[in-house]
A = this chain, B = another copy of it.
Amino acid sequence: MKKLIILASLLIVNTYGAASSTDISWRKLDPKHTILMTLPHGKVVIELAPQFSPNHVTQFETLATEKFYQNTTFYRVIDGFVAQAGPKDDSEKDKSVAKLNVEDQWATTKNFSFTAVQNNDLYAEQTGFKDGFAIALSSKEQKAWLTHCPGTLAMARENGKNTATSHFYFPIGQAPRYLDRLMTVFGRVVYGMEHIQSIKRTATIEGEFAVDSTEHTKIVDMQLMSDVPKAQQIIIEVEDTGSENFIQRLSNTRSRDNDFFYNKPPPVLDACQIAIRSRIIKKIIE
């Protein structure tokens, strides 16, 4: 039996000392640049970033449209690090895909606008958000880049700079920010991150038997949301990180102005620790 969920009630999840607010500005996702990935244990929705990594997004969308990823596996899943998927190494399928030039940063113009989060973060001169994505910036170099956070989608590569093809990964532990400006980030999970975190680990620790490849988590299906029949689409909206409401939320979060805080933590924010909210407008549960 199918159940149709239409947005009805407003549920705000309060976190330790986080200012609860019902004032959220929402942004629609473009179904042409949204991915529905079906895993055996759940569905995951991914927002792509054609405005930052156009060639990687185009290639990924083409592969998704061609059903390239169907039945490929998460063959490299390391606890605390990444879940990585793709075709069998050096198979015909693997070698059939063109290599991409890295899109690991872009030149910023003087009028580049974004929502500032933090100066002198451990890894960068500045961090912020642009179109829902965590970014980092160097004013000296006039560069900006999408930064690795839990749940970002990036393309794997070999040692060579311009060697990415179809293999991709999601960080599943603490943000591996040292990979910034070295890998092309081109999307982020906006729904179903718990299913990414539940992907079967393939790397064993010393003393355990190797995980058999038959146990690796399979990608049942990967499609552009716009190609999914309307009745099966999951329609998501995400918090608008350019909105005044979001800027206000960052400010509230930074001040931790709440009885819970008997000591005030440093008034700093880790961009990867800021949850960008999603809401479901329509979903079918089968």
Chain A, residues 11-39, CB within 8 Å of chain B (1/0): the string is 11101110000000000000000000000
Q: How far is the CA of A121 from the CA of B7 in the complex (A)?
A: 41
Q: A182-B261, A182-B262, A209-B5 are in contact. Are A122 and B79 (CB under 8 A)?
A: no
Among A204-260, those with CB < 8 Å from B are 204-210, 256, 259-260
Minimum C-beta distance from A67 to chain B (A): 28
Distance in angstroms between the alpha carbons of A278 and B6 in the assembled complex: 46
Residues A265 and B182 in contact, CB atoms below 8 Å apart:
yes
Given A7-B207, A118-B122, A122-B122, A176-B262 contact (CB < 8 Å): no
Q: Which of A58-66, A89-97, A193-201 contacts B (4 or more CB under 8 A)?
A: A193-201
Complex Cα–Cα for A70 and B73 (A): 36
Closest B residue to A13 using CB positions: B203
Q: How far is the CB of A171 from chain B (nearest CB, A)?
A: 9
A284 interface hit (Cβ, 8 Å) = no
The answer for the CA separation of A282 and B261 in the assembled complex, in Å, is 43
Total interface residues on A, CB under 8 Å, equals: 72
Chain B residues with Cβ below 8 Å from A180 are 265
Asked if A155 lies at the interface with its beta carbon under 8 angstroms from chain B, I say: no
Q: Does A107 contact B (CB under 8 A)?
A: no
Given known pairs A5-B207, A265-B178, A279-B205, the reply for A159 and B259 (CB within 8 Å) is yes
Contact of A193 among B13, B79, B149 (CB under 8 A): B79
Does chain B have a CB within 8 A of A283? yes
Quote the shortest CB–CB distance from A47 to chain B (angstroms).
Answer: 15
User: Which residues of A line the B interface, CB within 8 A?
Assistant: 5-13, 15-17, 78-82, 118, 120-124, 149-151, 159, 161, 172-182, 191, 193-194, 197-198, 201, 203-210, 256, 259-263, 265-266, 268, 270, 272-273, 275, 277-281, 283
* 6 shortest interchain CB distances as A-B pairs: A207-B280, A206-B279, A197-B197, A7-B207, A178-B265, A174-B273
5 sample A-B contacts, Cβ–Cβ < 8 Å, listed by A number: A80-B275, A175-B273, A177-B270, A182-B263, A207-B283
